[in-house]
Amino acid sequence: MSSGAFRPAPRYSTEEIRVIGLRRKIAERMEAANQVPHITIVEEVDATAVEELRTRMNASTQQTRLTLLPFLARAIVRTVREQPMLNAHYDADAGLIRRFGAVHIGIAAQTPSGLMVPVLRHAETLELRAAAGEIARLAAAARDGSARRDELSGSTITITSLGPLGAIATTPILNVPEVAIVGVNRLAVRPFWNGAAFEPRKMMNLSCSFDHRVIDGWEAAVFVARLKELLETPALIFVEG
């Protein structure tokens, strides 16, 4: 006797999709990155202070809205000034490391056409709101397809973030020939032990990957620790010297 339950018909179709254009280029870059021995460090960051500062700054003006990214960009500028080897390309064929004075930060962005990495050029010259405005402009240009070729190339270090979809931790793949990439994971309120009691804090993890051929584990750990310090005490981002 039939139970009367609906049983969907089996499907036998197979679809072949040719990998061309931008998706082909992305695949080729990922294949090249797979040849690089990565080291990944994941560090927990208390983002409460930087989030409070960001909220206050946004409430005080109608200018470009600040996200976390310009604060992170400023922190990266400060950190690579102290560790210039992280702001570099490695040419394995030539056995050559190219360290850059300019800090051109790639901002990995998902678009309808696939992953693109618009470049925040000369981040070392941009104050916070100028960086925020340029990041917003580049992201919009990448999404609507109006970004120029020169706006999608030439980065020296990259930030990648999945925004609210971000996981607890990720293992970012290097944007070769760069030697470092900073991954931003999901921000969430978590209980934090302050030494006497648990309190709610806005926490996130940074997942940073490095080219282990040229960046040692110690150097990588120092870099991540410094980013953590700057984000947890954001006033330091604005202190020169």
Q: Which residues are identified as catalytic?
A: 212, 216
Query: For residues 27 and 31, what is the distance between their CA atoms, to the nearest angstrom?
Result: 6
Q: Shortest CA distance to 103 belongs to which of 73, 132, 130, 128?
A: 73
Q: Kindly list the distances between the CA atom of residue 99 and the CA atoms of 80, 85, 92, 144, 221, in Å, as whole numbers in the listed order.
A: 10, 6, 14, 33, 19
Q: Shortest CA distance to 223 belongs to which of 180, 191, 161, 185?
A: 180
Helix (H) or strand (E) holding 204: strand 198-211
Q: Shortest CA distance to 136 belongs to which of 228, 65, 222, 47?
A: 65
